[in-house]
Amino acid sequence: MRGLDLLYPLKSIRASQFPWAIERYMNTLSQSLEALLGLGAETKELTFLQCSARGLIVFVATVVMVRLSSKRSLAEKTAFDAVLVVIIASVLARAINGSAPFFPTLGTGFVLVVLHRLLAVIAYYSHGFGILIKGKPVVLVQNGRLQHKNMGLNHISEHDLEEDMRLDAGTEDLFKIKIARVERSGDISFIKAE
């Protein structure tokens, strides 16, 4: 019967007892969460069950975060997107292993996703801001001629370019390339000459 009292603490109470019953229920819930997740415990003291429960909650929260962020952020199309993925992974790992407070760390993950989304919206409306945080494409080949300065600035050797030409453009002949650019994602795109 006592177990049922914990499940239904608000059953058969008077109005004057209501605040006390809610406080008791919240305390019981808080204590249960503390025990299940090992909140307040030292990292070394976390049990398998506690780490597993933390992992499960972080997994569900991460799925929600991914759904809140843009689809492109997972594709890591730009450094801006890759930074989000790396930081989120690092932050949320701390919530699982107990090296950071659990709920504030989850909250930080959501803040980072919202910040990424906000900056992406600003970049959508401001081309200059978009270039600042995402970069801009750079021409590497123009009408079959290498643009050595741009290649040097982007640390792309002729061998790197030739490899991408073979893999992506299906040619080894530089003169068949009208234009090649290193895109904001770091990929090299090719437009063949007519």
Q: Count Cβ atoms within 10 A of the Cβ of residue 54 and give its class: 0-12 exposed, 13-18 middle, 19 or more buried.
A: buried
111-128 burial code (b ≥16 CB/10 A, e <16): ebbeebeebbeebeeeee
Give pLDDT tens digits for 81-107.
888 888 999 999 998 888 888 899 999
Within 10 Å of residue 109's Cβ, how many Cβ atoms? 22
Q: What is the CATH number of domain 137-192?
A: 3.30.240.20
Residue % of the chain over a pLDDT of 70:
85
**Residue 142, strand partner residues:** 145, 179
Please check the confidence at residue 1 and state whether its pLDDT lies above 50: no
Among residues 95, 101, 89, the alpha carbon closest in space to that of 40 is found at: 101
Give pLDDT tens digits for 9-57.
555 555 556 667 677 767 777 777 787 788 877 878 888 888 888 899 9
Q: Give Cα separations from 121 to 114, 153, 183 (angstroms).
A: 11, 29, 20
H/E stretch holding 190: strand 188-192
Q: CA–CA separation, 146 vs 158, rounded Å?
A: 9
pTM of the model: 0.68
Looking from the CA of 169 toward its CB, the CA atoms found within 13 Å total: 25
pLDDT given for residue 34 in this prediction: 80
**Residue 181, strand partner residues:** 139, 189
Every domain range in the chain assigned CATH 3.30.240.20: 137-192
H/E stretch holding 58: helix 48-68
Look-up: residue for tokens 């058969």? 12
